[in-house]
Every structure is written in C-alpha cells, then in structure tokens.
C-alpha cells in the first residue's frame, strides 16, 4: 500500500476539516502530518494517537502576557493547533530584531515543530530547537539553507520536561554541537521520498480515511442533481 504525498496531504486535510479545524488551520496541520510521514517520522500514527484531544476541540488562540513575551505556556494544547501561528508570529518579530530565544512550556508534541521550522528556513537565516525526549535525552534540530539536521546533544544548559527552546536568527548562527546526528533532511532526500511514495501503517490509514470521509456529501438524488456526492470522482 503506497500513496503519494498529495494523497496523504489531502486525506489529512479532510480529516482535520472534519474535526472542526477552520480553513487555513486545516492546511497547516495537514502539512505537518504529511511532512512527518514523508520523512519517516510516523506523522499519521501521531495523529491517530491524538484524535481524542483534537476532534472538535480546536483552539488556535495564542495568549501572550505582552507583545515582547518569548515564554509561552501551551498548557498541553497540541502544536497542530498553535504551532503555525506561533512560528509565524515570531518570524514576523525578526523584522525588528537580530534573533529571538523562545521557550514553550508544557508542550505535548515538540516533534510537530520539525516541519514548521523546515518551512521557515526559506525565510529565516538559521533556527534550532531542543527538548527532552521520553528517555530524558536532549533532542536537537537545526535548520539552515533548507537543510535540517536532527540528533542528540549533551552540551546544553538544563532543560525542563515538556519544555522546548527555540532560537531563530536572521543574521548569524547560534552554534551548538551534536553528540550524534540521527537524521539529515535535504531537498534531495525529500525528492527521493516523493519518488518512492509513502507507505503508512494500514490501520492508521483506515482511521484517518474514516475521519476524512465525514466531510463527504452523502450521495442522494438531490445531491447528484446539484453535482455533489454523485460518484467517487466528485470526492477526489
């Protein structure tokens, strides 16, 4: 069972739409999941595990104590909801600053930052993020010139559980050292993955497809006359 990136993206998009995500937010969330799945980070599995806290519970509002606040308490709200807005906001803040250090507290799903930071690298000179994984190892990613490196680092200041520290800069690189690199993502690796197709877990695919099907217009004589729901082609 193999699918194209577009098939994974559109099915995820319909799933998010069925869960109450507004226009635009559903596109951002679908991009996150499809990017992770394309790059072997099990995006659909993460989405399936999160359905209970996502379905019809969308909350994309970002509460800042002040306009210059760089420490945010996410209260375990998924970055599928707040991540795109946060990155866009702080990216715009770089217009007046050389760099920014951002702290996300009570972050339930830091892996969703990976596609957002990768996308931001088209506009930001350099960015990185670090957080503790379930084994209390410091996961570290950095992105520059559309190339992302992900791995483990140990030469960092103490970091709390469920905390993510992000650094973004338009002028210089904030150098950190990897203890080991587990993954490198480049335009070539992405093109190779696109060419090979995506083979998601069959059960996960069935669950997401069932969610996506909630957006389909039921077939009926009236809907066929109106041109909706009359055949499978109308929903492709």
Task: Give the pLDDT confidence of 153-187 residue by residue, as tens digits.
Answer: 986 677 889 999 999 998 776 667 888 999 999 99
> What is the length of the chain?
236
pTM: 0.88
Q: What are the extents of the domains in the chain?
A: 5-196
Q: Please, what's the largest Cα pairwise distance for the chain?
A: 66
Rounded to the nearest 5°, which phi and psi values hold at 153? Answer: -135, 155
Indicate the pLDDT class of residue 216, thresholds 50, 70 and 90: confident
C-alpha dihedral (32, 36, 39, 44), degrees to nearest 10: -130
Rg of the chain on CA atoms, in Å: 19
Task: Give the pLDDT confidence of 25-70 residue by residue, as tens digits.
Answer: 999 999 999 999 999 999 999 999 999 999 999 999 888 766 667 8
Rounded to the nearest 5°, which phi and psi values hold at 157? Answer: -65, 160
């Amino acid at each position: 069972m193999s699918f194209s990136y577009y098939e994974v993206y559109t099915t995820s998009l319909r799933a998010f739409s069925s869960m109450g995500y507004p226009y635009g937010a559903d596109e951002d969330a679908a991009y996150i999941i499809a990017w992770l799945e394309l790059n072997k980070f099990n995006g659909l599995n993460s989405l399936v595990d999160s359905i209970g806290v996502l379905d019809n519970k969308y909350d994309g509002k970002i509460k800042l104590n002040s306009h210059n606040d760089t420490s945010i308490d996410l209260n375990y709200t998924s970055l599928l909801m707040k991540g795109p807005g946060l990155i866009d906001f702080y990216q715009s803040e770089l217009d007046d600053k050389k760099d920014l250090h951002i702290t996300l507290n009570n972050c339930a799903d830091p892996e969703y930052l990976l596609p957002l930071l990768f996308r931001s690298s088209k506009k930001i000179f350099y960015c990185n993020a670090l957080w503790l994984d379930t084994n209390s190892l410091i996961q570290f990613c950095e992105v520059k010139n559309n190339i992302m490196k992900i791995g483990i680092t140990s030469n960092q200041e103490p970091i709390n559980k469920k905390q993510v520290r992000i650094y973004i800069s338009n002028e210089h690189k904030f150098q950190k050292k990897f203890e080991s690199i587990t993954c490198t993502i480049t335009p070539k690796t992405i093109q190779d993955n696109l060419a090979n197709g995506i083979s998601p877990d069959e059960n996960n695919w069935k669950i997401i497809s069932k969610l996506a099907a909630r957006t389909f217009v039921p077939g009926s004589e009236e809907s066929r006359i109106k041109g909706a729901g009359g055949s499978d082609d109308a929903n492709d």
